[in-house]
Chain A
C-alpha cells in the first residue's frame, strides 16, 4: 500500500516566491527523506529528517516533521527557475510491521514549476 501521499500534485509559482509541499504517511517511521527529480533523470537526495527531529534546514530548504499527524512539509525559499522539478517524499518504516530496514516507500510527488 502507498505510504506517502503528497499535495499539491502540481505547484506553479514565480521566481523569488516560496514553495511549500506536503507529505502525509500512514505508519510509524524511522526517517523521512525528500528527493528531487528533474525530468527524465534520476532522483537526487535533498534532506533526511529522523523521527525524533522536528525541523531541519539545508540551504534554502526547510523540512518539518510532525509524527503525531504523520506529516511532513518541504519549504523552498526564494525559488529559482532551476528548482523546477518533481519532488518526492519517501518514508523509511525502519523495520516496523515486518518492513525491511532501508526500504523507502515513495509518494506520488509534487511537480513544481518556477517561472522566470
Chain B
C-alpha cells in the first residue's frame, strides 16, 4: 500500500545533541511537510518542500533544518534540541499545492529530550 513512513517512531535524545528524524513516501507526491505537535495542541507547520523548493515558516526556529535529497525522502534535523522541542513530529505529503492538496500523514515520531 502506498504510504508515508516515519522512522523512528520514538526517539530519545539528550539536551543539545543533534537528532535527525526521517520520512519516506511511496505516493510519489510533490509536496512534503513537517509539523510539530505538542500535547493536546494543533499541529504546527514547520516547513514544506514543493519538489526541491524549500519553504520555511516565519516562526520556525533556526534550530530546525530540513533536507529533501529526492522525491521519496525528507529529513528533519534538530541541531541543538532543547527541552521545549519535545513533541510529536509529523510528516505529511500532498500531490500538489493548489489542487488535490489533501495531506497524507505518517504515524509520527515522538521525540523526548532528556
Contact = CB atoms under 8 A, between A and B. Distances in A.
Interface string A35-49: 100001111110010
Size band of the A side of the interface? 20 to 34
Nearest to B90: A42
A100 B55 contact: yes
A43 B90 contact: yes
B107 A109 contact: no
Contact of A45 (B88, B104, B106): B104
Given A107-B42, A108-B41, A101 B105 contact: no
Interface residues of B, number: 27
Nearest to A42: B105
B43 A43 contact: yes
A33 interface: yes
Contacts, number: 63
A54 B27 CA distance: 30
A104 B50 contact: no
Interface string B53-80: 0010000000000000000000000000
Contacts of A43: 43, 90, 92, 103, 105
A92 B104 contact: no
A101 B106 contact: no
Nearest to A106: B42
B103 A41 contact: no
B102 A48 contact: yes
Interface of B: 4, 6, 31, 41-45, 48, 50, 55, 88, 90, 92, 94, 96-98, 101-108, 110
Interface of A: 2, 4, 30-31, 33, 35, 40-45, 48, 88, 92, 94, 100-109
